[in-house]
A = this chain, B = another copy of it.
């Protein structure tokens, strides 16, 4: 040990050298019946002393036993922790209650969390994992189409506050993600539609062929055909995984995954979070396509193409906001995490299948408030009206 006794007394600058990389990446398993493989996957990717399955009450009732049974079969000790259903539960309080319940059961830092449920479960259980004893591994097991396509991959976790959605949270990549398309058979059709909105987004920002495939297979998808859903999930996740791997902390290209979300989040907030996320994103994509056309970034006709597909799936194809609502929405956008210097920013398409960077190379654009308000007030499909 060098005791450094010759160090000058007039000051020192000590360098804490780069920390080693924490994560070596993770697998996303998309396979019918994989719900029964939770235990074997957990044993391999996140060996732990004990496992905490965190699930909302409704999901616990449906799949809690399957999850616990799979863990027990693999010889792993597990306990179930439940919380009330609903987006309005995605609060600091639920997070604190789940954490305290785990502490009370004496789960140590050598524990692993299984996040079982929809987007709320993934976000909140992921945030518990991110902050429990400064971080324990989490296995994401999404049980809704929306959660499979949106929240479960990418490591974003968080809770809502009075000021907005997901304003408090952490990046905490999962140890693995297990998606079992068979659980989607029992999903209400509105939940299915809500998830398809994210798939349409993936096509719109990255893959014209996929966008067309979704439109061509609308009947099979809406009928929850297992083969169609397997393909939808695998293709969407494949597209998202590529972007997340390229930019894990959303410092650049990952922002394109927020297409439709600047307006969408504001719509959700204005609805008091009664509006389904996918519906809000659908309306948000329609609005942002219209805004993109209005500012000359997005090819003319793009908003109309998008609206056609959204309507095919029974999704909103316009924000439908009146005058007062439009300025309230704008205010919400100023608090969006993408906002910079207090000004809203959004991802804009060049055309279906491709995004456009702004003049500085950023994947979000600053858009004049007047344009936003005008597009929100008008019919986003009818960009001629702008």
Q: A1-B207, A7-B234, A209-B5 are in contact. Are A161 and B100 (CB under 8 A)?
A: yes
User: Top 4 A-B pairs ranked by shortest CB distance?
Assistant: A19-B248, A11-B31, A3-B209, A17-B245
Q: Are A168 and B131 in contact (CB under 8 A)?
A: yes
**A122 CB, min distance to chain B CBs, angstroms:** 14
A residues with a Cβ closer than 8 A to B are 1, 3-5, 7, 9-32, 34, 49, 92, 96, 99-100, 103-104, 106, 108-110, 130-135, 153-158, 161-164, 166-171, 173, 206-210, 213, 227, 230-231, 234-235, 237-238, 241, 244-245, 248-249, 334-335, 337-342, 353
Question: Which of B13, B99, B155 is the one whose CB lies under 8 Å from A30?
Answer: B13
Find the B residue at minimum CB distance from A19: B248
Q: Are B11 and A244 in contact (CB under 8 A)?
A: no
A1 CA / B212 CA spacing, docked (Å) = 14
Find the B residue at minimum CB distance from A354: B1
Question: Which of B110, B153, B163, B171 is the one whose CB lies under 8 Å from A103?
Answer: B163
Q: Are A100 and B238 in contact (CB under 8 A)?
A: no
**Number of identical monomers bound together in the oligomeric complex:** 2
Q: Are B30 and A14 in contact (CB under 8 A)?
A: yes
A7 CA / B236 CA spacing, docked (Å) = 12
Q: Are B100 and A163 in contact (CB under 8 A)?
A: yes
Q: Which residues of B contact A30 (CB under 8 A)?
A: 11-14
Q: Which residues of B contact A92 (CB under 8 A)?
A: 92, 96
Q: Which residues of B contact A235 (CB under 8 A)?
A: 3-4, 7
Find the B residue at minimum CB distance from A207: B1
Find the B residue at minimum CB distance from A21: B21
